[in-house]
Structures are given as structure tokens and as C-alpha cells.
């Protein structure tokens, strides 16, 4: 089982599956479609049933039938196929056995190093087997670790029928990294009582609280006049953009916040005197504070528009997802089961809010509580990404133990 997990991981991370925020197809890239087809073949090979690819949402789903006659809730395990917006072609994973706690040379020619001076979390993995990048791409542990852990857990349960379990549903979906993957998830077809996304970081993470999230586009219309004759005529869109940003709380930004503190995050600004566009995201765990953040941006636009006869500043806002705690806390069965499963195999659960969101944030509001479990990777979305083989093994063990506990 150890060999299967590692070999499958090395195979999967070499397959390019980056999502594309500019695409209007589902999935957003054809490489994800091709990967989905491979997953279907591999699911069949290990003995899974009811393997389906949904053209409408890009999800592959499959079933491990129950091997007990007693009533057991149907559990779902979910992971995403796509990787993030960083170089993802020609991934060349490197294996480092018995890590000694020192600096790892990722790429000698380019002088790229993975150092505990920059990443103290490396010290948590002394003596373990690490899989890293070669310094030129991301690794793809987010979330191909989750995929192979689900595969490994299903293989183990199939090979060990003495472990009693109820019906288990699995799903592998697209476009999580661009925030739209779960938008069309078919909860009715999946038909689980509750589920887990296997998409967290270090061992022990168990998360059922996420941000409330919105995307914001600020459109600013200026008036460009020759600067020599601009007095009382020119309206500089760039200066209005600066004024808008300066009106936001300067300390409520990602680089100065932590834990449950929310923020405004300026993603991009572009333009000229004539017109400018800014893109933001708003995040807050508290729904009331989230609403106030959105209103503050509208109020700033109103204030900046006041001196003009026409609206110069327009705020376009769209909610992206909500704090899944609002749903999950009404029935904590899924969290309590995962908590007990981790403790049973010697893992101390780390229960803290996600400073982000998962597919589970959206799926929970579709009526299926879906907390998030660790997948084991660290330093996601870049050249310094790594995962310990032992972490993936522990994630697999947690999924097996959840299934076993549910059938007791």
C-alpha cells in the first residue's frame, strides 16, 4: 500500500492540470478532462463501482459499496484535480529519504534551496521521507496528495473486507484553485450524509470554519484633458483609485492579519488618467463584519462620487462563498467523527479556522456538511512546496478509521 501511494503520487503530479481563470469551459482546461479520464480508469482498476464523469460539472464520482448490513451514514471523500497559478508543466519530483533537518538543494544549477532558515516547518520532518520540486515548478501536492490518499484508503478497504464500513462516495473535481469548482457540484447525485474535503496542510488539521468571501471590482472613469489646460476640467482616474485604496483601513490587509482577523486585499490595479480598474477580495470569518466590510467599500465610492455630477467610481461586488461553520455547527457529527479517528491513531487534531476556503465551503451550503481534513503538504503554490510520505500515509489512515468508526 505504501508503494502504491507513492508511485501513484509521483505519476499524478507529473500530469499538468492547471486551471485557467480566463476560461469559460467546464472544466476550465482540457488537461483536467484528460486527468479525469485517467482517474476513472484507475478507479475501475482498484475495484470501485458506479464510476461516472459528469460533463456538466467536471466531477468524477465513484462508490465503494457497504460491506455491512447495519445502518451506516454514507460518507463522502472529495479532492480537487487542478493545481494553482504557478508553473505546473514538466513537474520533476525529487525524493529525499531520512531528511536530516538541513538545507535541501532543489536545483544546483539555478542555486535554488529549500532551507529551514526560510521555512522552519522543515524541522517538523526530520527523519522522514520528503518529496519536493526540482525548484522550477510547483509540486501539486495541493491537491494530488488528497487524491492519492483517497485512492489508498479505498484500496485498503477493498483489500481488507474484515474492516466493516458503510457506503463511501468519492469525488474528484476541477477548478478549486480558481474558486468555481464546486459551483455546479451535484449534491443530490453524490448523495452522502456528510463529506470531507481532503485538502488541508500539515498532519492534524481539521477545519470546519472558513472565511466569508467576496470579489470586488472597482471601475473608475476619469476625464483626460491636456495637462496644460486641465485646471477645473481633468479628473484623474488613477488619483481616485489611490484615494479609494487609502480610505480602507491600512492595517486590515493579509500581511498584517492572522487567525480570525478579516482583511481587504488589493489584487491588481491598472489604468490611465482616463480610466482605472482595481480588483479586491474581501474576507472575514464573522458574517456581520463581512457585511460591514462590503458596505464600507460602497460608502467610500459614494463619498468619492459626491463632488461630481456623474458617478465616477462604481463598485461591482460578488459573494464567492460563506463560512461553512454556519452549516456544520448545526450537526457536528462529521467533525466529531474525524476528531475521534485522528486521536485513535495517535494524531492530535488541530482545529482552527481556515484563512481561505475549500470546496467544502460551498458544498456545505448545498446541504451536505463538508469539513476539511489535512492532506499533508506544505508551502503550497510554489517552487518550495513539499510533502512527507509519512503525512500522506497518516491521512490515508484517518480516512480508513473514519469509515471504520462510522460502522461501529
All residues at 6 or more sequence positions from 133 whose CB lies less than 8 Å from its CB, including other chains: 91, 92, 93, 94, 106, 139, 383, 384, 385, 386
Give the angle subtended at the CA of 337 by the CAs of 334 and 343, to the nearest 5°.
140
C-beta separation of 248 from 264 below 8 A: yes
| Catalytic choice (16, 20, 82, 209) | 82
Closest-CA residue to 188 (of 207, 169, 172, 173): 169
| Catalytic choice (16, 20, 175, 176) | 176
Enumerate the β-bridge partners of residue 388: 130
Closest-CA residue to 84 (of 385, 380, 387, 392): 380
d(CA 338, CA 146): 15
For residue 73, the SS3 value is: coil
82 is catalytic: yes
For the chain, helix, strand, coil in percent to 5 are: 35, 25, 45
- What phi and psi values does residue 406 have, to the nearest 5 degrees? -60, -25
Residue count of the chain: 408
Three cell numbers, residue 312 = 465616477
205 secondary structure, DSSP code: B
For residue 36, the SS3 value is: helix
50 is catalytic: no
For residue 269, the SS3 value is: strand
HSE (CB half, 13 Å, CA atoms) of 377?
29
Place of cell 472565511: 211
d(CA 126, CA 230): 65
d(CA 308, CA 310): 5
Report, as residue numbers or ranges, the catalytic residues.
82, 176
Amino acid at each position: 500500500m505504501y508503494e502504491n501511494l507513492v508511485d501513484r503520487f509521483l505519476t499524478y503530479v507529473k500530469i499538468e492540470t492547471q486551471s485557467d481563470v480566463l476560461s469559460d469551459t467546464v472544466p476550465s482546461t482540457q488537461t483536467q478532462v484528460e486527468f479525469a479520464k485517467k482517474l476513472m480508469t484507475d478507479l475501475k482498476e482498484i475495484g470501485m463501482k458506479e464510476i461516472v464523469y459528469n460533463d456538466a460539472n467536471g466531477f468524477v464520482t465513484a462508490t465503494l459499496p457497504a460491506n455491512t448490513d447495519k445502518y451506516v451514514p454514507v460518507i463522502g471523500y472529495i479532492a480537487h484535480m487542478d493545481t494553482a497559478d504557478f508553473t505546473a508543466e514538466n513537474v520533476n519530483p525529487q525524493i529525499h529519504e531520512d531528511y536530516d533537518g538541513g538545507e535541501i538543494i532543489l536545483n544546483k544549477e539555478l542555486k535554488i534551496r529549500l532551507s529551514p532558515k526560510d521555512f522552519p516547518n522543515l524541522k517538523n520532518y526530520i527523519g522522514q521521507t520528503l518529496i519536493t520540486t526540482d525548484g522550477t515548478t510547483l509540486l501539486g501536492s495541493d491537491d494530488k496528495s488528497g487524491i492519492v490518499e483517497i485512492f489508498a484508503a479505498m484500496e485498503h478497504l477493498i483489500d481488507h473486507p474484515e474492516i466493516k464500513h458503510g457506503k463511501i462516495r468519492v469525488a474528484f473535481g476541477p477548478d478549486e484553485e480558481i474558486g468555481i469548482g464546486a459551483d455546479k457540484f451535484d449534491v443530490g447525485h453524490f448523495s452522502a450524509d456528510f463529506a470531507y474535503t481532503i485538502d488541508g496542510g500539515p498532519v492534524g488539521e481539521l477545519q470546519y470554519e472558513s472565511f466569508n468571501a467576496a470579489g470586488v471590482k472597482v471601475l473608475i472613469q476619469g476625464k483626460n484633458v491636456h495637462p496644460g489646460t486641465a485646471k477645473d476640467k481633468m479628473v484623474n482616474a488613477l488619483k481616485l483609485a489611490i484615494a479609494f485604496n487609502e480610505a480602507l483601513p491600512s492595517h486590515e490587509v493579509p500581511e498584517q492579519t492572522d487567525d480570525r482577523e478579516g482583511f481587504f486585499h488589493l489584487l491588481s490595479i491598472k489604468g490611465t488618467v482616463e480610466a482605472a480598474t482595481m480588483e479586491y477580495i474581501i474576507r472575514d470569518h464573522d458574517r456581520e463584519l463581512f457585511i460591514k466590510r462590503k458596505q464600507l467599500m460602497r460608502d467610500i465610492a459614494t463619498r468619492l462620487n459626491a463632488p461630481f455630477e456623474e458617478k465616477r467610481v462604481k463598485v461591482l461586488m460578488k459573494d464567492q462563498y460563506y463560512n461553512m461553520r454556519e452549516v456544520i455547527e448545526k450537526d457536528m457529527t462529521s467533525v466529531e467523527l474525524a476528531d475521534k479517528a485522528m486521536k485513535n491513531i495517535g494524531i492530535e487534531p488541530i482545529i482552527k479556522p481556515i484563512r481561505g476556503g475549500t470546496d467544502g465551503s460551498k458544498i456545505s451550503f448545498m446541504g451536505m456538511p463538508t469539513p476539511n481534513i489535512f492532506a499533508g503538504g506544505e508551502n503550497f503554490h510554489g517552487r518550495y512546496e513539499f510533502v512527507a510520505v509519512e503525512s500522506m500515509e497518516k491521512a490515508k489512515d484517518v480516512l480508513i478509521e473514519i469509515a471504520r468508526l462510522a460502522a461501529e
